[in-house]
Amino acid sequence: MKKLRLLPIFTIKDTRFLVDIEKQVLRQTDDLSNEISFIKDMQDKGNHYLLNYDFTEKRCPGVILDPLTIIDVQVPPLVELDAEGMAAKYGTTMEQLKGKTDFEVIVDQELLALRHKGVLPQINIAGEQFIVDLRLQELRHASNFHPVISLKSFDLTNDGWKYEAFYHPMMKQLVGIDPKLTEFPDGVIKIQLPNEIGLDPVGTARQYGMGERELLRCHPIQKELKAAVIPLSETNIPALIQRNREQLRQEHQEIARRIRPKHRPRF
């Protein structure tokens, strides 16, 4: 069992806050619902953060009603507040964290440099590499540049964080499911892949006019993207097959009833 680690404490004017590197927030120890975000509520100055802090509300003020209750607080970076946690989370050592900013640790700088040079991300779908091109809203086969899969052909999951579709690995194409299906479709799987933010956060920021650094802090570039394969047994396919088979059975019974002679012939 993984040993629970006590989170570090940062104090602002006698109010104690837990340092939560997973959510990148300060969380008030005696009111855990009160959170101050390093991304949304502070200005990242590199070697520290600048926080406008309302010491009566114990948070970053949405609207400044009384300037006398607002102070500027310099908050150390996460690599200093919780060096042990940051090293463990990002697979490095506490020694290697020294001299680096939070952004440099959280966001892979080599991957970011490649993306800024125009190198598009790639995702593995059922063993094949596809290039992610958000500008054209498509996935292109990395070796042959064909076939091309349109991102618009995917459905979004209910939470909006993943694309999903039925896929035929041999054809390397998305496929539709016959609503009258009575057997499992041959060679078809269901795949899930990240939405646009997960596929290409840099491209998403450019396309929608979002702040790149802020988006990358929440959604860093992933080194290896891979579509999840969902067994058809865990989809709605079994229920669809069962309904269709039952419908066919009822239809056959009705046909048999209609053609059955009402009276047996007499000899």
Predicted confidence at residue 95, as pLDDT, reads 95
Six-digit token string for 8: 């570090």
Predicted confidence at residue 262, as pLDDT, reads 63
Question: In this predicted model, what pLDDT tens digit does every residue of 107-149 receive, in sequence order?
Answer: 999 999 999 999 999 999 999 999 999 999 999 999 987 889 9
Task: Assess contact for 173 and 149: CB atoms under 8 A.
Answer: yes
**Residue 118 to residues 44, 111, 113, 114: CA-CA distances in angstroms?**
26, 11, 9, 7
* pTM listed for this prediction: 0.84
Predicted confidence at residue 258, as pLDDT, reads 78
Q: State the pairing for strand pair 225-226/122-125.
A: parallel
Longest Cα separation, the chain: 110
The three-class DSSP label of residue 28 is strand
Task: Looking at 149-220, list the stretches that DSSP marks H as alpha helix, in order from N- to C-terminal side.
Answer: 196-199, 201-208, 212-218
Predicted confidence at residue 65, as pLDDT, reads 73
Name every residue whose Cβ is closer than 8 Å to that of residue 98 and which is 6 or more positions away in sequence.
Answer: none
Predicted confidence at residue 144, as pLDDT, reads 86
Which amino acid is located at 69 in the chain?
Answer: T
Predicted confidence at residue 73, as pLDDT, reads 97
pLDDT means per 10 residues in the chain (267 residues)?
82 97 97 97 96 94 82 97 96 95 97 98 97 97 91 96 96 94 93 98 97 96 96 93 91 78 61
